[in-house]
Structure formats: structure tokens, C-alpha cells
Chain A
Amino acid sequence: MKRLLSAAPILGMLLALGCASPAVVSPKDYSKLRAENPVSVLVVPVVNRSVDVTAPGYFLSTLSVPLAERGYYVFPAHLVKRVLEDDGLSDASLVHHADSRRLGDLFGADAVLYVTINKWDAKYAVLTTTVEVDFDYVLKSGRTGEELWRNHQAMAWQPEGSQSTGNLLADLVVIAVKAGMAKAAPNFMPLAHLANGKAFCSVHQGLPAGPHHEAHDKDRESF
């Protein structure tokens, strides 16, 4: 099943989706974030508003890489998850409602990243399946509890149309099979990775380069 979703043509389509110009949004105000200048970011377990119970764990695995590549120190996400569970904070909603100053103090974190999954769905139709994700990202100060930055990403993907065999019936069968395969095990991960990339890196919307990045404090025109 996975080989269907890792083929080069699909990659091309995903990139096309990722690079499509979104509706014009005004640049974010980075003054609080710049003033706070966090070095370390604590990624806490993700709140799930979708019906897929596997979503939060899977999505948690995608957040550390792009955030660290952006130049921030990211606390070890798996270890943090286990420590929070041991401390009675296994419910992500409880963690999200806790004062970020408490978390900042517990771990020595400058900032805390809270992500909520609004959608992690595969919509099934007879001949095609549309996979949709929708996330909210909020960064709060671990020192003052203030919100420093927020972003939102929504993405959708459909398997690309199959190459025609010239036989209509055969083509319909192939499309139905692909939709069925996607239904059985839709792969959300490429979309999740793309969404994070856009959320953290888009000019005027993403995060400024962190202190471990060579562009730190030199990208004020973009962020």
C-alpha cells in the first residue's frame, strides 16, 4: 500500500499542492516573539479533534525535525511525553490548558508549542478518496505565558488520476482499487510533513530562524 503513496508522480502533486499560493494573508506581528527570543521549545502532546485515535501519536513524531531545522532547541519529544504521563499529564487537553509557565518551569523551556489536529480525515467516494489535514499551531512563552505566535494549516490530497489504459472499464476498476487502498490505510504523513514545513517556514507566516540557525535575527524582512 505504501508504494502507491511514495511514487514520484504523487510527490510532484504533493509539492504542487504545497507550493500553491494560498489566499493573501497579512504578515504576522513578530514583535512579541522577537522580544522574547526563545531558544528552547517544548513540544507537548497534540490535542486531537479528529475521529482518528492514531493521529496524535503519529503527528507528534513529525514536529521535532522541522522545528529543530528551523534553528530552535527542541526537547526530546518522546521523553517529554513519557515524563508528562508519569507526572499525571497524559491527557493532551489537560496539558494544553495548563499554564505554559508551569511547563516552562518544569522543563526549563523558553517556549511551549501546542498543536491541535482539527482534521485528519479520509473522505471516501466510490472512485476517489480525498485525504485532509487541518492543524492549529500556538507558541506560548514558558516565562510569561503570553502567546508569541500562532499559525494554521489545512491541506488536502487526492490520488492522481491513473494513466488511461484506453479501456474505460479497466480504468474505472484501477481508480476504484486505488481509492479502496487509500481507504484501507490512508497515509496522512506526507501531508502532515508538508503542513509543518509550510507552517514553520512560510514567509511572513512561519517562525523566524531560531538562535541555532545562521539566519537568526537576519531575516527581519521576512519575519
Chain B
Amino acid sequence: MKGWTALALLALSGCASSPKTRYDWKGYDASFYALMRDPAKLEAFGEHLKAVIDRNPDGTRIPPGIYAEYGYILFVAGRKAEAAGLFTKEKERWPESAKFMDRMIANCAPPPPQPQPQPQLPSPLPAEAAVAVKETP
């Protein structure tokens, strides 16, 4: 799997001034490929993404989209508060992602509480009808 990233680097060397990549991908493309081969490998994809994030605490070498990709894995796992945190990080690091990240953050919010149905009280008789009932022998 590592060979592909090396090949990609070499292919890009025509335009890159140094062999080191701008971002720390840590085999993102290889683990994405593995996920496309086997959609059940979502968790493994998530672990790869987490590894990139954990290796780069200051965030400067974290590639575009990585926070959001990991946020989605957490979202699918039901960890919506953490997912929202990651979408927010993506938005802060890459302001051009703001519109999309706002939508994802909104999806993470818990649904508004449903209004409880009120028990039905018998409707009072209109005043004229009450008087008519009283006066009728």
C-alpha cells in the first residue's frame, strides 16, 4: 500500500520542489481504497484518519477534509457531539468549507423535543345554551 503513495509523490515531483508532501496523508488514499473494496472497513478508515489527526496536534500538516472525514465516521457511529467538534475544526482550519460544515454541524444537533399532546378537556357549553337548559322545565 505504501508503494502507491510513493508513486504518487514521484509522479508529482514534476511540480513539487521537494519530495516531502505538503500534508501528512499517512496512507489516506490506501485506506480509502480499502474502504471502497470493502464498505465494512469504515472503522479502519476512521482509525487511519484519527492517526493523522493525533500525529499532528498543531494541525498545520493535516490535509484538507481529514477532520471532516473523521467527523463523519463518528457521526455514523452515533458520536454526534464529537462529530460536530470535528466539523467545527474543519471549518476553522479551512474557512472555504464553512457552508458545508455548517450543514453537517446542524445535522449533529439533537432533534428539538416534540411537544407533548395535551389531554382533551370537554369543551364548556356556550353561555346561552346553559341558560336555556336551566329554564327548560
Is the pairing of A and B real?
yes
A residues adjacent to B (C-beta < 8 A): 6, 11, 14-15, 18, 39-40, 54, 57-58, 60-62, 64-66, 68-79, 82, 107-110, 189-190, 193-194, 196-198, 200-203, 206, 209, 212-213
Assuming the contacts A11-B7, A65-B28, A194-B7, asked whether A54 and B64 have C-beta atoms less than 8 A apart, the reply is: no
Question: Chain B at the A interface: mostly helix, strand, loop or mixed?
Answer: helix
Q: Count chain B residues whose beta carbon lies closer than 8 angstroms to a beta carbon of A.
A: 41
CB < 8 Å A-B pair total: 134
B29 contacts partner chain A, Cβ-Cβ < 8 Å: yes
Contacts of A70 in B (CB 8 A): 15
Q: Which of B15, B35, B72 contacts A76 (CB 8 A)?
A: B72
Assuming the contacts A69-B12, A79-B72, asked whether A6 and B23 have C-beta atoms less than 8 A apart, the reply is: no
Contacts of B3 in A (CB 8 A): 6, 11, 190
Assuming the contacts A78-B69, A79-B65, asked whether A69 and B99 have C-beta atoms less than 8 A apart, the reply is: no
13 A–B contacts from the bound complex (CB under 8 Å): A11-B10, A62-B33, A65-B25, A69-B21, A76-B69, A76-B90, A77-B32, A108-B97, A189-B33, A196-B11, A197-B11, A202-B14, A203-B14
A109 to B98, CA, bound (A): 10
Least Cβ–Cβ distance between B6 and chain A, in angstroms: 8
